Structure formats: structure tokens, C-alpha cells
Amino acid sequence: MNETSNMTVPLGDPTTDLTNSMLENSMLDLINKVTPGATTSILPEEAEHEFDALAAMLLVITLISCILAAYYIKVHRIYCLPESAAAMLVGVLLGGLTKLLDPLGIYDFSVLSFSPELFFFVLLPPIIFEAGYSLNKKNFFKNFGTIVLYAMFGTMISTFIVGGVTFFLAKHTIITTIDSSNMMESMLFGALISAVDPVATLSIMGSPELQCDQLLYSLVFGESVLNDAIAIVLFRTFLKYYSPENPDMQESDIPSALWEFFYVSLLSILIGTALGLLTSFIYRHSRLKEYPKFESSLLFLFCYGCYATAEAAQMSGIMALFFNGMVLSHYNDINLSQAAHVASEHIFSTLATVSETIVFLYMGTGVFTGKFENFDPVLTVIALLLCLVGRFFNIFPLSWLANKGRPNDKQVPVKMQLVLWFAGLRGAIAYALAENMPGPNKEVYATTTLIICMFTTFVLGGTTEKMLTEMGMKQSTIQEAGVGNRQGYTISPNYASKRYNPTDKYHFIKSKIITFDITIMKPMFGGTITDGWSKSYSHAEDEDEDEDIFDSSDLELKTIS
């Protein structure tokens, strides 16, 4: 027998071949259901492309439906159904439709599944940058101490309450679906579920017709953007100390983790600020404003580069990007041409809107596309109650502490504290972090987080307008003619025209900062009124001219002739 006759021809695995054949036939059948006759001459290799095209078309149609639903809600002032909740509902319908078409889970609907990496590197950066870029910096820094108390120390309080109590209950077998020997797993859950994302509340509070109290809006908005960044830094810090093989925590783990948290937060702020100043310097000392399309393109790339740089350095991209947006808004606005200024603001606002819609849509589809084999109703109910308790010990004690250092006419009243406690919705950040949970109990935490997010969005978000009315957090009609800002709400003229005593220490330090900003920083990085911009003052602004250190919203887009 010759040599060739002894050779064997390798055969494929019959099971694999049969599975691939079934998938190809099933995919062709699905395409044929949607577009009859389309697969009569299509090759199996081309079926996957057409299937992806159909899935993409379905996703785009769904997004259009979400935007139109948001428009309808705005026009008809349907406050009981926030825009984010409407996007979730559409997502639930979309997930249900895919489940109906594919009850056995044969088809690949990954395009409709929530991807944490897609969220953190594609969808989240536009949302965070737009928040920093459009922020009313004057109101933000006026309440900076109170906001930091809520966002930093309040988030840490909530994290330790939720994580500590959850671990205690697991130790005593009240909760049986999580690791009762690994405290760091519970702390990870406490950190992720402490990420407040009040998009639904802010969309209602920001409605001009409601005339929401300006201080309340500033506190809710300021806390939310910093809280997200702090919760992510806490989560990643605890993740470094998580070890399923060695669950016993050392006594030095918690202090060292907290030290790393403060270290990462500070460096992230420095990275964002430094890159924002570098970008402003480049725009200030170049002729980019003669080429508006390059201006807008580079601004987008510089912003995304800031996020990527911080993440590559293992810092917080969210915190860096938020402060980067504030720096660019303060210094670089003046360096842009009129066309680029208008275009960039609308582009970033549009990207943020689309990104938020996609995020809530994906959360809705997760009801059907997620895995709920390990759903634990006991953990879900307990975690929801702990979120409310943690929020309580965040807002009320820290508000009492903040009021000790606030003037009598700018106290945070008890009714406002109740609204702040009520505004502690959970959203996309918490859900994305839950999808990154390590260990075998990931699905339990992801399911629990999704249900808490949906409950707070629908129930707490849907009753925000009623809560504002009951607590008297709407401004009177006399106050409606105020000083406008970038968020679309107003500041009462009486508030804007208050002056500080020139002899007090606070005013002295602030005047020094203003002088340094005007004489040193703005000539170098931008912001003077000599580059084709003019500044308009109302009567109230004339009385309080030095209050404008962190606010460029009153810069008009018109050239000096």
C-alpha cells in the first residue's frame, strides 16, 4: 500500500457542522420573515451581513422613536413619565420583540445588548464633557463646598452603609446569593449602587415652565456629575483589592484604598485641568479660528484625548473630562470663531442627548436580553431600602454640616433636603459598573442593579414634579425674569445682585483669584474681551461685576466693529 493511501482526510466535528448549518438556516429564515423573498439567492456568508443590517435598522428606528417620544413628553409636559423612562419603555418593547422572534436564543442580537466598554469609551464621554462644558460655573463654585460634601463624603457614607449592611446580612444567611466570606465584593456593590444619576429628575427640574429653585438645581446637578466620577473611582479602587481566592481583608486595606481614592481623584482633576489649559493655549496662539471645521474637529479630539489619557494612566477619565470641559468653557470659548462656538455647543449637546437615549434604551432591552437565572428578590428589596437609608445619611447630616458654614439667607432648608434625598435616582453608571462586577455572582448584582435603576427612574423620577410642588421648590412668577445661564433655568435678580462685604476674608481671597485670572491666565489662555467678543451687562451684573469669575455664559456671539 503506497504512502498516500495511509493518509487520512481530517473531518470536521459533526456536532459543530450541524450547529453552524442550523444557525445559517435559522438566520436565513429570520431574514425571510422580515423581507420575504430576500434570501432566495443569498449566500450563507452574506446572510450575516444582511442580518446585522436589519438589526442596525431596527436600532435606528427605535432611537428615532425614543427621540420623538421625548419631544412629545416635552411639548405636552408629561411630568409623570420622564424622557429617560420613556426610552427604557421603548427598550423593553424592543427586547420583548427580539425575544418573541427568537424565543430559543439562536440569533445573535449582541447589537442590542449592553456593553460596558461601549458605554465607558463611546457613550459616556460626550455626556460628561457636555455637563462640564455647559455648566454654570459661577453657581457651581458658589456651592462647591456643599456639593463636595454630598458627592464625595456622601458617596462614601452610602457605599459603606450599603456594602457593610449587605455583607452583614450575608454573614447571617439572610442574603444567600452572594459571597458571605468576601467583604470586598459587598463593598464593590456598595460603590456601584451609590452612583447617583438623576437624569430624569434634572430633565424635569430644567423645564423653564416649572421655574425650579436655582439653588436646588445647582446642588442636584453638581452632586450628580461629581458623584458619578467618585463612585467609579471608588469601584475601581476596591476592585484592585478584590481577590476571590483570598477573601480575608487586611486591616490596612480600607485606609490604603481610601488613600488611593483621594490620590486618583486629585491626579485626575490635574490631568483634566492641564490638558484643558494646553488646548486653550494652542487655540489662543494659533490661527485655527480661520478654519472653523478644523476648530470643531480638534476640539472633539482634544476632549476625547483627555478622557483616553486619564484612562490610560489608570486615573478617572470622567473626573478629568468634567474639569477639562469647565476649563475649556472658561478660557477657550473666546478663542473659537462664532461658527465653531455655536457648532461645538450644539454638537456636544446632540451627542450627549443621543448617548443618554442609547444608554437608557439598552437598559430597557436588558430586561429581556439579560440573564436572570440568579435573580434574588430578597437582595433586591434590601438593596433598594439600603439605597434610601444611605441617601438619608448622606443628605441630612451633611446638609446640617454645610449649613454651619453657609450664610443665613443661603441655607439648605429641610424641604429642599427632602427633595435632594428624593432625587437620588440610580442609572446608567450603576448598571455599567454592575456589568463589570467580578466573581461568580455578577448576574445577581447586575439584575438587582437594573431593577433598582428602573424603579427609581419610573417611581421617583415620575413623581418629581409633584414633589417640587409639595415642597414649594418652584420659584414665584415674580422671580422669573432673572439672569439667564447655560442650563436654561433662571437666577432671580435679587440673588444675582447680592454683594459681599469687601472687608471680609472670603471676598479678599476671591478678589485675588479674579485678579490673577484676568491679568495672568486669560491673556495666556484666552478670555479677554479683545479678540472679537463683546460682553453685555444687565443692571444686576453691573452691581455684581466681580461675581463673574467662573461664568462666561453672558458672552455674546457678536464681533466688535
pLDDT in tens, the chain (561 residues): 444 444 444 444 544 444 445 545 555 555 555 455 444 445 556 767 777 777 778 888 888 988 999 889 888 888 888 888 888 899 888 888 877 877 666 666 666 677 778 888 888 888 888 888 887 777 888 888 899 999 889 999 999 999 999 999 998 888 888 888 888 889 999 999 998 876 666 777 766 666 788 888 888 888 887 888 888 888 988 888 887 766 555 656 667 777 888 888 899 999 999 999 999 999 998 888 888 888 888 988 998 899 999 989 888 888 899 899 888 888 888 888 888 888 888 888 888 888 888 888 888 888 877 666 678 889 999 999 999 999 999 999 999 999 988 888 888 999 999 999 988 888 888 888 888 888 888 889 988 999 999 998 888 888 888 888 888 887 654 443 333 344 433 333 333 334 445 445 667 777 888 888 888 888 888 864 444 444 333 333 344 433 444 443 333 333 333
Q: 178 vs 175, 189, 453, CA distance in Å?
A: 7, 11, 20
CA distance 233 to 238: 9
Conformation bin of residue 444: beta by default, left when phi > 0, alpha when psi is -120 to 50: alpha
User: 3-state class of 482 per DSSP?
Assistant: coil
pLDDT at position 361 is 87
Q: What is the DSSP string of 244-272?
A: SS--PPPTTHHHHHHHHHHHHHHHHHHHH
In the numeric block, which cell numbers belong to residue 265? Answer: 481623584
pLDDT at position 273 is 93
In the numeric block, which cell numbers belong to residue 356? Answer: 443618554
CA distance 158 to 346: 36
| Residues facing residue 491 across a β-bridge | 483
Asked whether the beta carbons of 161 and 393 are under 8 A apart, the reply is yes
Asked whether the beta carbons of 196 and 426 are under 8 A apart, the reply is yes
pTM, two decimal places: 0.77
CA distance 487 to 196: 19
pLDDT at position 247 is 59
CA distance 409 to 273: 33
pLDDT at position 209 is 67
CATH architecture of 116-479: Up-down Bundle (1.20)
> DSSP secondary-structure letter at 483?
E
Write the single-letter amino acid at 442: K
Asked whether the beta carbons of 197 and 428 are under 8 A apart, the reply is yes
Asked whether the beta carbons of 543 and 550 are under 8 A apart, the reply is no
pLDDT at position 494 is 39
CA distance 283 to 335: 6
The residues spanned by each domain of the chain are 116-479, 483-556
pLDDT at position 261 is 81
| Residues facing residue 535 across a β-bridge | 555
Q: In whole angstroms, what separates CA 103 from the centre of its chain?
A: 33
| Residues facing residue 490 across a β-bridge | 484
Q: List all residues 6 or more positions away from 484 whose beta carbon is below 8 Å from its beta carbon.
A: 490, 553
Q: Which of 345, 333, 367 is nearest to 89 (CA)?
A: 367
In the numeric block, which cell numbers belong to residue 359? Answer: 444608554
pLDDT at position 3 is 43
pLDDT at position 506 is 61
Q: What are phi and psi of 411, to 5 degrees?
A: -70, 155
The alpha helices in 405-527, defined as continuous H runs, are: 414-422, 428-435, 442-455, 461-462, 464-470, 493-496, 505-516, 522-525
